[in-house]
Structure 1
Amino acid sequence: MAVSGFEGFEKRLELQFSSNNDSVIDIGLRELDFKSLEHILHQVQCTVVSALGNKHFDSYVLSESSLFVYPNKIIIKTCGTTQLLKSVQPFIFHAETLNLRLIAIRYTRGSFIFPLAQPHPHTSFHEEVLYLEDNIPKYLCYRKASVIPSKLTSHSWHVFSAGILEFSDDVPYTVEVCMTDLDQTLARNFFRHPNDGKNGDSAGKDMTQITGINRINPNSIICDFAFDPCGYSMNGIDGDRYSTIHVTPEDGFSYASFECDGLYNDDVAEMVKKAVKVFGPGTVSVATTSAARDTCMRIKGVIEQIGMKSRSCMIDEFPAAGTVVFQTFTRKRI
């Protein structure tokens, strides 16, 4: 808990691994036992509250956001004052016990609402980069760290990536949406009624239905959880694809995020539009990593359709991650 309120903005870490043995990579990281995952999460300062999986990957809703475990990839994002980067070395160690080798890493986050409340190594982006440089293998030679600014808003996008090879465009792209100043009426949907007689799972399912989150991607199987007295998280599974939403609804520091991965022919823009409509935010930032330019333009178009004005579009290139396009939108003139 931050001094003035809860930090909604997540820190996100993606680790990719490879093996010379195809039979190893069929199961890969999914062979990690739950006790090992719990130990890593304890170092980060969060726990598992709900879980769901299919033949492609395992999904965990955390007390502070989400974890996805694929055979050759881990995605973990945590909010609040968690120490996400302390998971880097343990994940690498456990992967090595499974004969898996780290080949790429990407760390991203927005601008913290309460930066002074963050513990080491998250006290600044400079400190985070130094920590990453000290805790990843030297052979990840294609490295870059950058802060992508936003014109006219306080939102900035922080990116560190490293890999053994330059980026290849035959992988899914990632869309990360951060929303602040949520509509107060819509945000109230994410508060629980006192003594409602429900647990986190049943209350979460109610919130998913009431808000229309279940309609963002009707093909997804949703694992959701409602916190007490307020807050909400969900992971969606659609084949080998994931989506996730996290909500901190309190007035004064309200925040919601939506994230998904996509392929070129997907209409991810429509999912982004539906997600933004659920929350009615005052400010939206969208970071797309390695998406085609027309995908970014479609996202811009659908967000403008619901009454928001584009304020900024900044582009940066990362040798191990590809192109990052960072767009910001607001409801009112700044």
Structure 2
Amino acid sequence: MYFEGSEKKAEIIIDSEQMSLLKDIDDSFWATLVEQCHAKILSTISNQTCKAFLLSESSLFVWADRIVILTCGVTKLVNSVEYFIAQIGQAKIKQVIYQRKNEYFSHEQLSCFGDDIKLLSQYVEGKALRFGELDSHHTYVFHQDNDFTASSTDKTYELLAYQISSQASIALTTPNLSAQEIRSFLAIDELLDGFIIDDFVFQPFGYSLNAIKDNDYLTIHVTPQESSSYVSFESNLNLLAMAPKILAILSPASFDILTFNEADFHGLTLKHIPSDYVSQSLVQSELTNGYQVAFANFIKPQTSYSQAKIIDINGENHAL
């Protein structure tokens, strides 16, 4: 059994002087937007500045001036972005950023990054970049190329862990796990003191969490199957500072970090990334919209031989 945990992500910023996405848009709009990419809303939490929707495939966050949406599996997130642009109107939109990372099973996807940006280019003029090596871990970023300039305080962090340890995979695939048991394993109370939390345990495996506190947010998505394990963290909290705790729990064979506007990316990685991980790829670029983007892929070098994986040649072969 496998599931494509790797997310596609979009952030769309609007002119909040023309409208408020929190006050002027009702939940039926967001339900329809999510349906465009073949997902659905499972539950919602909110405070005075943010509304967070837990989805059947990842998460949607809404503030007055922007949305952040992530979807996994074989969803077509670009369809939801197209719907947003068509319904809200290009005149109200200040910036569109669309990301897509390398997938485990790219041949199962309904489109590729090239297809997606061809569609988006019909609505916004933009530029596309690849962070990371093509034959290794990498992330594509498409962004609108206009007169928008991001604030230096507008920071986001992504930590994407691959091939979590056997112990972590076993702990997260134990039958009949409760949400509280998964929270305890991931030390959520230590990471997210004072946050409103919404989470869901999928059957037979999988876990998603949204957390909000004032303007801050964090979302976690867990695909624990050992054959394709993947755990993602996305937040405007400093995930580099949280990395030692996260890596100690999951002990992944490799992980990616992607940041927007973290000026001390190099210093923070030196300070917080454990010494048993080494960097495979380091990329840093300033986008024309003002975001300073940094990407790093880290691996834990093997010190001993492992056994080859035995494949059931009489079983399902679509994942090969």
Which TM-score tier does this pair reach, normalised by the shorter chain? 0.7 to 0.9
Judging changes above 3 Å, is the alpha-carbon distance between structure 1 residues 106 and 182 closer, same or farther for their aligned structure 2 residues?
Answer: same
Secondary structure class of the residue paired with 2:209: strand
Superposed, 1:119-134 pairs within 5 Å as: 119=110, 122=111, 124-134=112-122
Identity of aligned residues (%): 27
Which residue of structure 1 aligns with residue 269 of structure 2?
299
Over the aligned positions, Cα root-mean-square deviation in angstroms equals: 2.3
Superposed, 1:37-116 pairs within 5 Å as: 37-96=30-89, 101-116=92-107
Deviation at 1:275, TM superposition (A): 2.4
1:54 is aligned with what amino acid? N
Instruction: Find out whether 1:144 has 2:127 as its counterpart.
Output: yes
CA distance in structure 2 between the aligned counterparts of 1:224 and 1:192, rounded to whole angstroms: 17
Secondary structure class of the residue paired with 2:236: strand
**Larger helix share, 1 or 2:** 1
C-alpha deviations, 1:202-254, integer Å up to 9, x for none? x2233112331232232322211111111011011121011111010111110
Deviation at 1:154, TM superposition (A): 1.5
Deviation at 1:19, TM superposition (A): 4.2
2:168 is aligned with what amino acid? L
Superposed, 1:223-242 pairs within 5 Å as: 223-242=198-217
Aligned equivalent of 1:287, options 258, 270, 277: 258
Secondary structure class of the residue paired with 1:44: coil
CA distance in structure 1 between the aligned counterparts of 2:116 and 2:189, rounded to whole angstroms: 35
Deviation at 1:56, TM superposition (A): 0.6
TM-score by length of 1: 0.84
C-alpha deviations, 1:92-134, integer Å up to 9, x for none? 24434xx970110111122111110000xx2x22222211102
Paired positions, count: 303
CA distance in structure 1 between the aligned counterparts of 2:171 and 2:290, rounded to whole angstroms: 36
Is residue 288–residue 296 contact of structure 1 (8 Å, CA) maintained in 2?
A: no
Deviation at 1:193, TM superposition (A): 2.0
Which residue of structure 2 aligns with residue 199 of structure 1?
none
Is residue 60–residue 66 contact of structure 1 (8 Å, CA) maintained in 2?
A: yes
CA distance in structure 1 between the aligned counterparts of 2:66 and 2:141, rounded to whole angstroms: 18
Which residue of structure 2 aligns with residue 200 of structure 1?
none
Secondary structure class of the residue paired with 2:274: helix
Secondary structure class of the residue paired with 1:164: coil
Deviation at 1:67, TM superposition (A): 0.4
Superposed, 1:253-292 pairs within 5 Å as: 253-262=228-237, 268-292=239-263
Which residue of structure 2 aligns with residue 209 of structure 1?
184
TM-score by length of 2: 0.87
Judging changes above 3 Å, is the alpha-carbon distance between structure 1 residues 214 and 188 closer, same or farther for their aligned structure 2 residues?
Answer: farther
The answer for unaligned runs of 5 or more in structure 2 is: 304-320
Is residue 30–residue 57 contact of structure 1 (8 Å, CA) maintained in 2?
A: no
Judging changes above 3 Å, is the alpha-carbon distance between structure 1 residues 20 and 36 closer, same or farther for their aligned structure 2 residues?
Answer: closer
Is residue 146–residue 158 contact of structure 1 (8 Å, CA) maintained in 2?
A: yes
